[in-house]
């Protein structure tokens, strides 16, 4: 059933003579299928086909693109359990989690379809002509967001469905009107192929230009960089490690004649402020936090890797409870060999630090590619003096920072690098008392949340899954939710454009009934 | 009257011992005032003051920021003719042009004040909680755009008022809620000081934190790079040459621990398609085009430096008319020595090209720092073979590309680099016949205009003054018009945020009566 080939413009290609395999942490072996790596010529061909398809695809209506996205969702569901089973083998994630992730993937596609049908996302703005204005007449000026061209999407290790072949980056790039070339993640090449073929079926069903989608197999440092530096590529979506993300980001600026935007989500330790009033009340706080730390073997971008508290009797009680809860966690398969190796290596490095107290040091299950939990603590002072403690440990690990007082907590928050999320665990009384810490946390994060856990990212209109560097390479963006579409567009202005040539979104009649800003005022009526 | 000092947080500073002067192309001499260059310590101090001011300024209401912007406009007007006279001496631009530019500068400040009072620019989005949702409840999630921190603005040579100290970059960064540090342009240091002091007065009048604004004197390659690479700086606005813009852009990515957005407007030759039906009708086309080419000695970012036409009898007639009109243009003072030197050097290089016909080659007035017009032509084939012909010549110069047919015109448009503007001169019949060329042009530009000239950029809600590289370093942005504010913000998401802590823009009551997207639907009512 698995062919092991690349796909360019819906056609299988396999001229290469180097191969990759997917390793299963569950079986402890390479899976039997061999996947042929794309040649340079094939990579070029995919970009050429995408560029040619762009000219057609960019002019598809919102309705047509919405139907296409829904067809992709249908074809993914039609793969049934085969897809889930393959993803389990390739990612080590449990079936329930992957079934949920499939729901999210399909949900994302449908959210963008809804956004396209409603249509206002293009941010249409119209300033009508003022021929009598003195000293100079005003021209008729209109603008809207338009697609930019072929986008490269890198599959992510930790979300083989929702952040990979037909994940959020692909869905938002398609929704914006751009062709997509997916660089499949080596960890789940079979899953990629199955989903890629589902997209190909949707292309045929919806009569889309075939070059609108290709997927290619290869190494990130070779095929990935080759694609990113190809002049036909106009933007990049990436989720993964900081070194890989920065290599792509810098290549897109330094190794291209024309630099392009790179949306790389890279690294976040998602600090949680456990404020004194909340600690006093407690209410199963340890259970809630441990659940988030251990979820999916800790392999979430929003895993709470840093817990801040101010020393008192209640904080000591919480730490004791956390130790008990976290230590009881069963070992769990990790996503791949590399992540497992890096996880235990990072733990070992931490254990060599003088100022660090080990609270939970689970057994080494690396021979089975399984994680065990790791919990440690430092003083606020030590945290402030050791910036490396902010490096992400990808896995079920968290670091407790015990601050001596309010002032030290504020300093620690101000010393944080950029984060996807920041969480405030607070009672009413804490909110006013620690207003400056909360304000400081806002400056560091893309999402601030209260009395919840950062894992479980909602896919909706208001979500921001982004944040200041190094959480992402571009704090202006979100990779989850409706506004993810804005990463792959640019504004285009039409001055005195004849009515016949205006896009529907900018016509006087407002045939799509979208919300527009007309001479400064929002309205969804016609002119 | 001119002090010749830097200003940090409204206070004059002058610890340095190196000086700059402004050269006047009108007098042919350095102006008498000496301006002391900022020391490294002073640059650091300006950033520290800006960072401290940010914590206060970012929480100012839209109303307070609007009043501040209007106060700046008032203080600029209060400078009266002294400001215009100084700007004339420093820029060589005529008084009428600078009076108009002052109007535009003040108009920009007022547009942003209007935008802030209306308030919807923050793009508030609210997804209300769904506690009963299955399988998981939905949290209350809200987001809006928030400011990012201190912005460095580089004064531009060609707009001493509208793109400099209190120009569009400064106005939009202030409007967004960010402190600004201006790196004054060496060509108009006196103008910078006068406008800078006007801003300082407005700060005091409006009780704004003093560190919200500083201006510093120095060289772009030293002081400019020093500021851009300072960790306290969060974004950069620049208008100028491509080499300078790219040096800043690359420094912001490669020489910083945390890369930041750079909005550099750099280079554009603003192609004009003169389509056959229009040429047949003609209607004073030569006069219209020549007026735009020669305006302000050709020193506009939107100067039409490239005219495309398809050879026929009508095109020959237009070229003859253009030659007559352009040749009759008087010489005019250029902005500064460097621009004048570069202009004549570029003309000389062009004259050495075998395939280029010289149509108008005005006398060399470089000894008086004056421009004369330059018009040349090439075949479409030669244009396609010589990419260097797309390099901008900053001054009253334009290149005619005579294509042999429709197909060659399409090829030429597809071969264009990114541009701020593209212009289509067309009759009704041309629009359908040359649809593919117009479509191709759209892909290359930030603004497409019909039967007008690209100079005279309107400051409004719908303007896009931006475009694909190398026109700008970031095609997602505009540096003119209301949306220029979006360059200096990022989205921030609030999950389950207690009502008391929510910004006014996100409160249930919608106290600012702004337009918001609530559960996917636009509304300006309360919840």
DSSP of B326-351: HHTPPPEE-S-HHHHHHHHHHHHHHH
Partners of B470 on chain A (C-beta within 8 Å) are 258
Of all residues in chain A, the one with the smallest CA distance to B138 is A458
The Cα of B143 is separated from the nearest Cα of chain A by a number of Å equal to: 5
The Cα of A137 is separated from the nearest Cα of chain B by a number of Å equal to: 10
Active site (annotated) includes residue B301: yes
- Per DSSP, chain B holds a count of helices (H) and strands (E) of 16, 25
pLDDT, residue A108, reads: 97
Closest residue to B520, CB basis, from A445, A461, A473: A461
pLDDT, residue B282, reads: 82
> Does the pLDDT at position A288 exceed 90?
yes
Partners of B496 on chain A (C-beta within 8 Å) are 449-452
Partners of A126 on chain B (C-beta within 8 Å) are 462
Give the model's confidence band at B283: pLDDT under 50 very low, under 70 low, under 90 confident, else very high: confident
Mean of all residue pLDDT scores within chain B: 97
The Cα of B410 is separated from the nearest Cα of chain A by a number of Å equal to: 14
Give the model's confidence band at B86: pLDDT under 50 very low, under 70 low, under 90 confident, else very high: very high
Give the model's confidence band at A526: pLDDT under 50 very low, under 70 low, under 90 confident, else very high: very high
pLDDT, residue A283, reads: 86
> Does the pLDDT at position A47 exceed 90?
yes
Per cent of chain A over pLDDT 70 is: 100
Q: What is the pLDDT of residues B265-276, one digit of tens each?
A: 999 999 999 999
Partners of B466 on chain A (C-beta within 8 Å) are 490-491
> Does the pLDDT at position B225 exceed 90?
yes
The Cα of B191 is separated from the nearest Cα of chain A by a number of Å equal to: 25
**Segment B32-52 mean pLDDT:** 98
> Does the pLDDT at position B24 exceed 90?
yes
The Cα of A495 is separated from the nearest Cα of chain B by a number of Å equal to: 4
Instruction: Answer whether A127 sits within 8 Å of B428, measured CB to CB.
Output: no
Neighbouring C-alpha atoms within 13 Å toward the C-beta of B203: 23
> Does the pLDDT at position A135 exceed 90?
no
CA B304 to CA B422: how far, in whole Å?
Answer: 9
Closest residue to A258, CB basis, from B452, B461, B469: B469
Of all residues in chain A, the one with the smallest CA distance to B476 is A490
Closest among B46, B90, B51, B50 to B224, alpha carbons compared: B46
**Segment B423-452 mean pLDDT:** 97
Q: What is the pLDDT of residues A348-359, one digit of tens each?
A: 999 999 999 999
**Segment B159-176 mean pLDDT:** 98
Cβ contacts of B349 within 8 Å, gap of 6 or more = none
Instruction: Answer whether B522 sits within 8 Å of A501, measured CB to CB.
Output: no
CA B527 to CA B520: how far, in whole Å?
Answer: 13
Instruction: Answer whether A469 sits within 8 Å of B254, measured CB to CB.
Output: no
The Cα of B318 is separated from the nearest Cα of chain A by a number of Å equal to: 23
Whether residue B190 contacts residue B22, with contact meaning beta carbons closer than 8 Å, is answered with yes
CA A477 to CA A457: how far, in whole Å?
Answer: 15
Q: What is the pLDDT of residues A201-251, one digit of tens each?
A: 999 999 999 999 999 999 989 999 999 999 999 999 999 999 999 999 999
Give the model's confidence band at B179: pLDDT under 50 very low, under 70 low, under 90 confident, else very high: very high
CA A297 to CA A407: how far, in whole Å?
Answer: 34
Closest residue to A447, CB basis, from B462, B495, B517: B495
Closest residue to A493, CB basis, from B136, B451, B464: B464
Q: Is the confidence metric ipTM above 0.95 for this complex?
A: yes
Of all residues in chain A, the one with the smallest CA distance to B149 is A443
**Segment B97-114 mean pLDDT:** 97
Per cent of chain A over pLDDT 90 is: 98
Per-residue buried b or exposed e for B478-489, using 16+ beta carbons within 10 Å of the residue's own CB: bbbbbbbbbbbb
Of all residues in chain B, the one with the smallest CA distance to A446 is B492
Partners of A517 on chain B (C-beta within 8 Å) are 461-462
Q: Facing residues of A448 across strands?
A: A422, B494
| Composition of chain B by helix, strand, coil, percent to 5 | 45, 20, 35
Instruction: Answer whether B449 sits within 8 Å of A501, measured CB to CB.
Output: no
Of all residues in chain B, the one with the smallest CA distance to A54 is B443
Q: Is B114 exposed, middle or buried (0-12, 13-18, 19+ CB in 10 A)?
A: middle
CA A189 to CA A20: how far, in whole Å?
Answer: 9
Q: Facing residues of B489 across strands?
A: B147
Query: Of these residues, B45, B90, B210, B301, which one is catalytic?
Result: B301
> Does the pLDDT at position B291 exceed 90?
yes
CA A525 to CA A510: how far, in whole Å?
Answer: 7
Partners of A151 on chain B (C-beta within 8 Å) are none
**Residue B245 in 3-state DSSP?**
helix
> Does the pLDDT at position B135 exceed 90?
no
Q: What is the pLDDT of residues A394-426, one digit of tens each?
A: 999 999 999 999 999 999 999 999 999 999 999
Partners of A446 on chain B (C-beta within 8 Å) are 490-493
Which of A147, A388, A431, A495 would you mutate first to test chain B, the one with the most B CBs within 10 A?
A495
Of all residues in chain B, the one with the smallest CA distance to A480 is B493
Give the angle subtended at the CA of A184 by the CAs of A182 and A187, to the nearest 5°.
160
Instruction: Answer whether A258 sits within 8 Å of B418, measured CB to CB.
Output: yes
Partners of B141 on chain A (C-beta within 8 Å) are 458, 460, 462-463
Instruction: Answer whether A138 sits within 8 Å of B460, measured CB to CB.
Output: yes
Phi (first) and psi of residue A406, to 5 degrees = -55, -45
Per-residue buried b or exposed e for A199-224, using 16+ beta carbons within 10 Å of the residue's own CB: bbbbbeebebbbbbbbbbbbebeebb
Instruction: Answer whether B127 sits within 8 Å of A496, measured CB to CB.
Output: no
Instruction: Answer whether B462 sits within 8 Å of A126, measured CB to CB.
Output: yes
**Segment A328-334 mean pLDDT:** 94
Q: Which helix (H) or strand (E) holds B86?
A: helix B80-91
Partners of B128 on chain A (C-beta within 8 Å) are none
pLDDT, residue A282, reads: 82
Q: What is the pLDDT of residues B238-257, one digit of tens each?
A: 999 999 999 999 999 999 99
pLDDT, residue A1, reads: 81
Give the model's confidence band at B498: pLDDT under 50 very low, under 70 low, under 90 confident, else very high: very high
Per-residue buried b or exposed e for A395-405, using 16+ beta carbons within 10 Å of the residue's own CB: bbbbbbbbbee
pLDDT, residue B493, reads: 98
Of all residues in chain A, the one with the smallest CA distance to B447 is A493
Instruction: Answer whether B446 sits within 8 Å of A492, measured CB to CB.
Output: yes
Closest residue to A492, CB basis, from B149, B464, B522: B464
**Segment A149-159 mean pLDDT:** 97
Does residue B504 have a cis peptide bond before it, meaning omega lies within 30 degrees of 0?
no
Instruction: Answer whether A464 sits within 8 Å of B492, measured CB to CB.
Output: yes
Of all residues in chain B, the one with the smallest CA distance to A140 is B462
**Segment B66-92 mean pLDDT:** 97
Instruction: Answer whether A492 sits within 8 Å of B442, measured CB to CB.
Output: yes
Partners of A459 on chain B (C-beta within 8 Å) are none
pLDDT, residue B208, reads: 98
Of all residues in chain B, the one with the smallest CA distance to A520 is B461
Closest residue to A498, CB basis, from B249, B431, B498: B431
Which of A476, A500, A518 would you mutate first to test chain B, the one with the most B CBs within 10 A?
A476
Closest among A15, A14, A10 to A53, alpha carbons compared: A10
CA B475 to CA B126: how far, in whole Å?
Answer: 28
Q: Where do runs of H (alpha helix) occur along B3-79? A: 40-57, 62-78
> Does the pLDDT at position B1 exceed 90?
no
CA B268 to CA B16: how far, in whole Å?
Answer: 37
Closest residue to A464, CB basis, from B143, B475, B489: B143
Q: Is A374 exposed, middle or buried (0-12, 13-18, 19+ CB in 10 A)?
A: buried
Residue B367 CA to chain centroid, in angstroms?
30
**Segment A267-288 mean pLDDT:** 95
**Segment B125-146 mean pLDDT:** 96
Active site amino acids of A: 265, 301
CA B310 to CA B308: how far, in whole Å?
Answer: 7
Instruction: Answer whether A458 sits within 8 Å of B127, measured CB to CB.
Output: yes
Closest residue to A456, CB basis, from B136, B458, B492: B136
Q: Facing residues of A401 across strands?
A: A308, A378
> Does the pLDDT at position A96 exceed 90?
yes
Q: DSSP for B166-210, please give it.
A: TSHHHHHHHHHT--EEEE--GGGHHHHHHHHHHHHHHHHHTT--G
Q: What is the pLDDT of residues B187-224, one digit of tens each?
A: 999 999 999 999 999 999 999 999 999 999 999 899 99
CA A485 to CA A482: how far, in whole Å?
Answer: 6
Closest residue to A458, CB basis, from B138, B148, B462: B138
**Segment B292-299 mean pLDDT:** 93
The Cα of B448 is separated from the nearest Cα of chain A by a number of Å equal to: 5
Residue A175 CA to chain centroid, in angstroms?
16
């Amino acid at each position: 059933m698995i062919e092991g080939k690349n796909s360019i413009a819906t056609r299988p290609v396999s001229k290469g003579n180097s191969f990759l395999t997917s390793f299963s942490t569950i079986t402890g072996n390479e899976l039997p299928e061999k996947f042929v790596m794309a040649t340079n010529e094939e990579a070029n061909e995919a970009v050429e086909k995408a560029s040619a398809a762009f000219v057609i695809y960019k002019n598809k209506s919102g309705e047509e693109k919405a139907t296409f996205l829904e067809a992709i969702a249908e074809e993914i569901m039609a793969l049934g359990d085969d897809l889930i089973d393959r993803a389990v083998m390739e990612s080590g994630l449990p079936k329930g989690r992957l079934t949920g992730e499939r729901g999210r993937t399909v949900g994302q596609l449908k959210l963008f379809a809804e956004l396209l049908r409603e249509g206002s996302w293009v941010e249409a703005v119209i300033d009508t002509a003022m021929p009598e204005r003195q000293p100079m007449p005003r021209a008729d000026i209109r603008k809207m967001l338009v697609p930019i061209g072929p986008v490269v999407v890198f599959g992510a290790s930790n979300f083989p469905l929702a952040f990979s072949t037909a994940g959020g980056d692909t869905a938002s790039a398609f929704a914006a009107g751009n062709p997509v070339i997916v660089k499949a993640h080596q960890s789940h090449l079979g899953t990629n192929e199955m989903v890629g073929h589902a997209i190909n079926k949707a292309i045929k069903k919806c009569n889309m230009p075939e070059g609108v989608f290709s997927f290619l197999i290869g190494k990130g440092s070779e095929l990935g960089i080759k694609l990113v530096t190809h002049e036909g590529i106009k933007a990049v979506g990436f989720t993964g490690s900081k070194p890989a993300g920065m290599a792509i980001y810098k290549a897109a600026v330094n190794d291209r004649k024309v630099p392009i935007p790179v949306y790389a989500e890279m690294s976040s330790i998602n600090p949680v402020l456990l404020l004194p009033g909340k600690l006093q009340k407690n209410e199963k706080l340890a259970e809630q936090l441990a659940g988030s730390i251990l979820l999916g073997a800790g392999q979430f971008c929003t895993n709470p890797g840093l817990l801040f508290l101010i020393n008192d009797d209640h904080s000591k009680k919480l730490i004791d409870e956390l130790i008990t809860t976290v230590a009881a966690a069963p070992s769990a398969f990790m996503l791949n060999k590399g992540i497992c190796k890096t996880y235990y290596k990072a733990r070992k490095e931490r254990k060599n630090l003088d100022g660090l107290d080990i609270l939970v040091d689970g057994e080494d299950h690396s021979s089975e590619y399984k994680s065990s939990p790791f919990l440690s603590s430092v003083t606020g002072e030590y945290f402030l003096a050791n910036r490396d403690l902010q490096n992400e440990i990808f896995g079920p690990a968290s670091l407790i920072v015990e601050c001596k007082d309010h002032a030290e907590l504020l300093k620690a928050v101000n010393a944080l690098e950029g984060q996807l999320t920041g969480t405030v665990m607070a009672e009413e009384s804490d909110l006013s008392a620690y207003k400056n810490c909360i304000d400081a946390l806002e400056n560091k994060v893309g999402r601030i949340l209260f009395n919840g856990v950062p894992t479980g990212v909602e896919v909706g209109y208001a979500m921001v899954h982004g944040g200041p560097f190094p959480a992402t390479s571009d704090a202006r963006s979100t990779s989850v939710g409706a506004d993810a579409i804005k990463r792959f567009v640019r504004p285009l202005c039409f001055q005195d454009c004849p009515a016949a040539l205006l896009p529907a979104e900018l016509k006087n009649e407002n045939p799509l009934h979208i919300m527009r800003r007309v001479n400064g005022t929002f309205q969804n009526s016609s002119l």
